[in-house]
Amino acid sequence: MPLDTITPDEMRIIITRIQPYLPRFLTLFEPGPHGVRFAFAQFTGRELRPVRPAVQDDANLRYVPEDEDPVEHRLRNEARHILDDVWEQAGEQWAQAAYVAELGDAVKDAPARWKTYRTERRALDDAFAFLRDPAASAEWPSALSRLIDAQDRTRAAATAFDTRAREIARVHDEHHGADITHDAALAAAGYPEAAEWPIARHADYDRAHHTDWGTRPLAETVRHLIEQQDTHITKINRLSGTAGR
């Protein structure tokens, strides 16, 4: 808040008046050349949401019309502006901390589930790639069986990861007003690697149909991949005359 029109003596009066209404978690509060400087103790996000106390019943802060008392009008306006600024920023910092704290609760074993999925997905990619190898023709039924097993394991791993991703997406939705990105919040919660996790919107985990827009649930991505693989294999069998072998 600019203090060009407030003298040091007037600022001392303002600070005395607003002192009872300042947050107890302030670690710095002092006037500077360009406004009041303040800082807060680190929020955990487990505290109650900071709420600005009402001052309309305070005889030294309640509104006074300018034409009634210009000096008091100006002092009280500045006092309320300072309180608004302090409590607004406290609320913003708390909201970020609450978001990060709840994400930490929601993630649980998501890193391990993502690692399992990546392992199974690589095995699936390898099993499908082998079908293009000339050696696959000598063991076609076995190669297909290994592919099906890999598909099943990958599908199960994707579904398991989505269980955690759904909860993470719920937290994202519930804290959408926090001034911090999803990736930054997850990193602050201790999971910088989460930037590569496919987290869809919370509502998408209950949809029966999905579009190509945005991030889809991982199980849906795997379902689409397996569908493409099965279509490709069916075409190979039809063109090569191996169907039914």
- Using the 8-state DSSP alphabet, how is residue 209 labeled? -
Q: Which domain holds residue 12?
A: 8-104
114 shares its domain with 182: yes
Cα-Cα-Cα-Cα dihedral of 64, 67, 72, 76, to 10°? 50
Domain boundary among 77, 104, 131: 104
- Does 21 reside within a domain? yes
The answer to whether residues 96 and 12 belong to one domain is yes
- Is residue 129 domain-shared with residue 182, that is, in the same domain? yes
Mean of all residue pLDDT scores within the chain: 92
120 plus 218 within the same structural domain: yes
**pLDDT higher than 80, residue 2:** no
**Mean pLDDT value across residues 132-143:** 93
Whether residue 2 is contained in a domain is answered as: no
- The answer, yes or no, to whether residue 1 has pLDDT greater than 50, is no
Pair (235, 155) in one structural domain:
yes
**99 and 176 share one domain:** no
Q: What percent of the chain has pLDDT over 90?
A: 83
Q: What is the 3-state secondary structure (H, E, C) of 39-89?
A: EECCCCCCCCCCCCCCCCCCCCCCCCCCCCCHHHHHHHHHHHHHHHHHHHH
Reported as a single tens digit per residue, the pLDDT across 64-108 is 999 999 999 999 999 999 999 999 999 999 999 999 999 999 999
pLDDT band per the 50, 70, 90 thresholds, residue 243: low
- Based on the fold, state whether residues 234 and 136 are members of the same structural domain: yes
What is the number of domains present in the chain? 2
Residue 3 within any structural domain of the chain: no
Does any domain span residue 171? yes
pLDDT of residue 3: 46
Query: Is 225 within a domain?
Result: yes
Least confident of 123-132, 149-158, 171-180, 207-216: 207-216
Same domain? 215 vs 176: yes
CB 76, CB 18: distance < 8 Å: no
Please tell me which residue, 31 or 93, carries the higher pLDDT value: 93
120 lies in the same domain as 205? yes
* For residues 122-139, average pLDDT: 95
Q: Is the model's pLDDT at 244 over the cut of 70?
A: no
Task: Looking at the structure, tell me whether residues 83 and 134 fall in a common domain.
Answer: no
